[in-house]
């Protein structure tokens, strides 16, 4: 390509940001703009603030990081608020029996940031051109250029190349609505359909009363038979404690989430606070406040093939946790780096 490539990255989750961040370092001639539908960056590596409490209502932490990811977190990006959640994760089963977790797994660092896991996305976003609150509805490929269009069919931008990073079902909807060569479109829709996601209702419970001290930071349901799949003491993340606030995060199991997805917040709060009280054998039925997040596409159960997707149509690229086949922050970053390499190759 003779002239500088214009690239649109759709989605400012960690995969899209990691790709744009890497390309900015290695291919500064590429003109990259990131398009994000929500008000902030981070996607599912998300942080919310309610009543003075800071909590991560999507991904909880980064664990199992590779040396390259450790370097990114500990050296490359600002790390003054990077913290390891030292206290371990324990387990529970359908009968509410709590037991110590795997010591090997608990020996690994669990990275987050004292000011919220979105700090990671904010650091990756430094220096990038990001357009927030702009949903790309579909693309039109005309004369070797891609037009990015909104829901009304108005053109947001015209570029040489596009990288799509929303979860596979949302990417599939964009591709299905797009104007693309039919063969490529069919291949892409078919491949993206292979990545199935499970939903997750996340309920955050805030208490003004002190909670009983526990030897664990969080509990994970290992027999997958409990309505709660994960319960965490958010204020045990270093730097998050406040005198007046105790915060529990409950992530509900996929089937339970599916069945209760449209429940009203008061009913949901009563139901989950009851389940949590029984699990912890402590009366936590009257939280001072609660906050709910509906993750329709929380974690991929299966993946789509990176090579198939990235070879289907010239200058149309794909990456996300689903191209790794697993919902993990560090793997989504690595997929972003992987696609950045493919894009750099095409740009030269």
Task: From 252-260, 261-269, 309-317, 328-336, give the range in contact with ligand FAD by CB under 6 A.
Answer: 328-336
Is residue 162 within 8 Å of 146, Cβ to Cβ? yes
| Interface residue with ligand FAD, options 47, 118, 170, 221 (CB under 6 A) | 170
Q: Based on the shown chain and the rule CB under 6 A, indicate whether residue 199 belongs to the binding site for ligand FAD.
A: no
| Interface residue with ligand FAD, options 23, 329, 339, 347 (CB under 6 A) | 329
| Interface residue with ligand FAD, options 8, 9, 23, 35 (CB under 6 A) | 35
Q: Based on the shown chain and the rule CB under 6 A, indicate whether residue 12 belongs to the binding site for ligand FAD.
A: yes
For 90-131, the DSSP string reads: EEE-TT--EE---HHHHHS--EEETT-THHHHHHHTTT-EEE
Q: Based on the shown chain and the rule CB under 6 A, indicate whether residue 287 belongs to the binding site for ligand FAD.
A: no
**C-alpha of 122 from chain center:** 14
Closer residue to ligand FAD (CB): 280 or 332: 332
**Least distance from C-beta 123 to ligand FAD, angstroms?**
15
In whole angstroms, give the CA distance from residue 224 to residue 102.
17
| Interface residue with ligand FAD, options 7, 136, 247, 304 (CB under 6 A) | 136
**Least distance from C-beta 326 to ligand FAD, angstroms?**
7
In whole angstroms, give the CA distance from residue 285 to residue 277.
6
For 255-276, the DSSP string reads: HHHHHTTT--HHHHHHHHHHHH
**Least distance from C-beta 157 to ligand FAD, angstroms?**
12
How far separated are the first and last CA of the chain, in Å rounded?
6
Closer residue to ligand FAD (CB): 5 or 299: 299
Task: From 59-67, 88-96, 99-107, 307-315, give the range in contact with ligand FAD by CB under 6 A.
Answer: 59-67
Select from 96, 170, 186 the least CA-distant residue to 138.
170
Segment 201 to 220, residues that bind ligand FAD, using CB under 6 A: 202
Task: From 55-63, 153-161, 220-228, 264-272, give the range in contact with ligand FAD by CB under 6 A.
Answer: 55-63
**How many residues belong to the chain?**
348
Tokens 């919310």 identify what position?
A: 48
In whole angstroms, give the CA distance from residue 219 to residue 160.
47
| φ, ψ of residue 274 in degrees (nearest 5) | -65, -45
Question: Which residues of this protein are in contact with ligand FAD, per CB under 6 A?
Answer: 10-16, 35-38, 43-45, 58-62, 135-136, 165-167, 170, 174, 200, 202, 251, 295, 298-299, 320-321, 327-329, 332
């Amino acid at each position: 390509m003779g002239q500088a490539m214009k690239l649109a990255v759709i989605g400012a989750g960690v995969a899209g940001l990691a790709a744009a961040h890497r390309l900015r370092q290695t291919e500064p001639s590429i003109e990259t703009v990131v398009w994000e539908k929500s008000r902030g960056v981070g996607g599912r590596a998300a942080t919310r603030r309610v009543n003075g409490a800071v909590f991560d209502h999507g991904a909880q932490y980064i664990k199992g990081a590779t040396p390259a990811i450790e370097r990114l977190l500990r050296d490359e990006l600002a790390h003054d608020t990077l913290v390891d959640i030292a206290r371990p994760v324990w387990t529970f089963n359908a009968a509410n029996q709590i037991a110590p977790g795997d010591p090997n797994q608990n020996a690994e660092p669990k990275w987050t940031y004292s000011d919220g896991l979105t700090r990671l996305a904010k650091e990756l976003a430094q220096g990038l051109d990001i357009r927030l609150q702009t949903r790309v509805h579909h693309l039109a490929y005309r004369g070797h250029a891609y037009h990015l269009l909104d829901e009304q069919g108005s053109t947001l931008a015209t570029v040489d190349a596009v990288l799509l990073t929303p979860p596979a079902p949302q990417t599939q909807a964009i591709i299905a609505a797009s104007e693309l060569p039919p063969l490529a479109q069919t291949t892409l829709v078919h491949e993206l359909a292979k990545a199935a996601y499970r939903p997750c209702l996340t309920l955050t419970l805030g208490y003004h009363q002190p909670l009983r001290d526990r030897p664990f930071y969080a509990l994970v349901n290992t027999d997958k038979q409990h309505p709660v799949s994960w319960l965490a003491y958010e204020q045990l993340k270093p730097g998050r404690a406040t005198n007046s606030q105790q915060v529990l995060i409950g992530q509900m199991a996929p089937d339970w989430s599916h069945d209760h997805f449209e429940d009203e917040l008061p009913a949901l709060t009563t139901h989950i606070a009851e389940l949590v009280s029984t699990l912890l054998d402590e009366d936590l039925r009257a939280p001072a406040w609660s906050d709910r997040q509906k993750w329709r596409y929380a974690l991929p159960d299966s993946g789509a093939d990176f090579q198939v997707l990235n070879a289907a149509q010239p200058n149309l690229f794909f990456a996300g946790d689903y191209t790794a086949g697993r919902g993990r922050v560090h793997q989504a970053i690595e997929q972003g780096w992987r696609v950045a390499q493919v894009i750099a190759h095409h740009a030269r």
